[in-house]
Amino acid sequence: MTDKETLRFSRCPLHHEACCSDMDRRSFLKQASILSAAVPVAAGALGHALAAAAVTAPAPAEKQPPVVKVGYLRYAKAVGGGWPGHGFNNDLACKEYSQKLEQMGRELNVRIDLADAEITDEAGVDRFVAAAKKQTPDALLICPIGLGQWDRAQKILGTTGMPTLIFSQIGTAFTWHTTPLASRPGVYLVSSLDIGDVRPGLEMVRTEKTLRQSTLLVVKGGSDEEKVYGSVGTRLKYVSEEAYVAAYQKSEVDDDVRRLAEEAVQEAKEIREVNRDDVLQAARHYFAAKRLLAEHAADGITSNCLGMLYGKTGTPCLGYSRLMDEGIPAGCEADVGSAMTMMLIHNLLGRPGFMADPLVDTARNLFANAHCNCPTRLDGFDGPREPYVLRAHHGHWHWVSPQVLWRIGQVFTLSRFQKPGLLIVDRAKVACNYESPPSAACITNVGSVVEGAEDNPHKVGGFHVLQIYGDHVAKLRAYGRLYGIEAVHAWDPRVSFLFEPDYPA
């Protein structure tokens, strides 16, 4: 934890025996051996084997990359007096900017349009605006290089109305130029020494374009229908619960299922309450969901797992946890708002989130979030897994759920779409992991201190709000500002405590 994060919170993180006790490895391996004989494959090869076992069906359509049109508002001469000073060379700066932007574009799959990018007079501004209106790029990136260029920047902003990234190298503007733009809707402003710092803005543009081309599969009820998630633009495709059950039944226990089950066991810290067959049946959900996603060319899934699956397939917690770990949004209870938040953070932040039910601990003044479906690669899809225990679902049926032990002291972000234009965004810190029992809540149960609600955790509203490792508050709020999504605290009066899985789009 950084000094900044430590200062942000006034209290020390609380500890719990679930995170502090040592595990007897020999006892664990004895428990884990219930599966080890089932699949003769080395643990290190499991991930590669699973990756090779793809479901044969259509994949989601390839996403078209966004186009960002660039304009350098500069003086005609290479070097001039005043601001920017110290011999600042416009020619060299524009060349450096272009090289860095093109490199980031290749890395992020963003098309950087540098055609006629250098603008030195009013006629150039008019040409740039006319070209932008004709081309309709996904966003503009303008760089006012000098104090005299900001009126031209304002003209571009006022006449195009397009999402706009602005880069101002330190020494090319005063705060009265930049401050009004820092909070202006439709604008993402960066003032720094390196144009590479606009990378988060390019990631925002890519994310918005991706979401508009994505499909979220909603497994709920018995009829098929389609919707659009408001201004976010993601397609919501509803499929019947019977379709999921059929996909599960087709995903029989084969070598691929055994490999996934073996991997889950070998990497677990401990196994409780469940047996070999439980883990095998739970692993089938990974392949069932993959099958259904491929059939509908969808990018993510949320299913009515409670009720629909009781007595039919068991809960999909283990399989969905693995999907999230590899970057596929997989939400619980057909909750569209939470699943759409997963779609957002998977693309924008490159990591999964934990959607959960809200609780409070008044004895320790903590907010808590609890659920039975939690990802393990909380630091990012390519990162290590957090320690987890294979447990039975808290409903006491022998359905497998990973109890993920969150890192004590870890700063994280709370977020959820309350509706398409309203996004909860708050900052918190992990204080403890609750053990079940004595807790009667879901298997993964994380106690935390929420900034702004340190003395009253009951303030924290919302249901199925996601927890995301890291401090992403500024980035999520900036994304909302760029694309017309209002970011609010969880105690905003418009935030409901009710479960609203099908909020009108």
pLDDT score recorded for residue 305: 82
Of 338, 284, 377, 279, which is closest to residue 499 (Cα–Cα)?
Answer: 338
Residue keyed to tokens 């093109």: 102
Q: Is the pLDDT of residue 36 over 60?
A: no
Angstrom distance (rounded) from CA 287 to CA 300 = 14
Which residues does 500 contact at the CB level (< 8 Å), separation at least 6?
337, 418, 463
For residues 35-47, give the mean pLDDT: 40
Tokens of 109: 């799959």
pLDDT score recorded for residue 37: 39
Which residues does 257 contact at the CB level (< 8 Å), separation at least 6?
251, 280, 283, 284, 287
Angstrom distance (rounded) from CA 337 to CA 505 = 10
Q: Which comes out higher in pLDDT, residue 216 or 18? A: 216
Of 433, 437, 359, which is closest to residue 391 (Cα–Cα)?
Answer: 437
Radius of gyration for the alpha carbons in the chain, expressed in angstroms and rounded? 25
Confidence of residue 12 (pLDDT cuts 50, 70, 90): very low
Q: Is the pLDDT of residue 117 over 80?
A: yes
Which residues does 249 contact at the CB level (< 8 Å), separation at least 6?
none
Residue keyed to tokens 């416009």: 90
For residues 446-450, give the mean pLDDT: 97
- Give the strand pairing for 465-469 and 411-419: antiparallel
Angstrom distance (rounded) from CA 98 to CA 441 = 54
**Residues 342-364: pLDDT tens digits?**
999 999 999 999 999 999 999 99
Q: Give the length of the chain.
A: 505
Residue keyed to tokens 């692993």: 283
**Residues 406-420: pLDDT tens digits?**
999 999 999 999 999
Neighbours of 107 (CB within 10 A): 10
pLDDT score recorded for residue 152: 97
Share of the chain above pLDDT 90, in %: 76
For residues 92-100, give the mean pLDDT: 97
For the chain, domain boundaries: 3-60+214-488, 67-209
Helix axis angle, 25-36 relative to 276-295, nearest 10°? 60
Of 334, 327, 329, 328, which is closest to residue 302 (Cα–Cα)?
Answer: 334
Report yes or no: 429 and 5 within 8 Å, Cβ to Cβ. yes
Instruction: Please write down the HEC assignment for all residues of 366-420.
Output: EEEEEECCCCCCCCCCCCCCCCEEEEECCCCCCCEEEEECCCCCCEEEEEEEEEC
Angstrom distance (rounded) from CA 239 to CA 421 = 25
pLDDT score recorded for residue 396: 63
pLDDT score recorded for residue 54: 44
Angstrom distance (rounded) from CA 290 to CA 293 = 5
**Residues 122-175: pLDDT tens digits?**
999 999 999 999 999 999 999 999 999 999 999 999 999 999 999 999 999 999
Predicted TM-score (pTM) above 0.85 = yes
Q: Is the pLDDT of residue 376 over 60?
A: yes
Neighbours of 337 (CB within 10 A): 28
**Residues 311-337: pLDDT tens digits?**
678 889 999 999 999 999 999 989 999
Angstrom distance (rounded) from CA 301 to CA 321 = 12
Q: Is the pLDDT of residue 208 over 90?
A: yes
pLDDT score recorded for residue 397: 63
pLDDT score recorded for residue 51: 44
Tokens of 115: 């055609």
What class has domain 67-209? Answer: alpha beta
Angstrom distance (rounded) from CA 153 to CA 119 = 11
Q: Is the pLDDT of residue 476 over 70?
A: yes
Angstrom distance (rounded) from CA 363 to CA 385 = 31
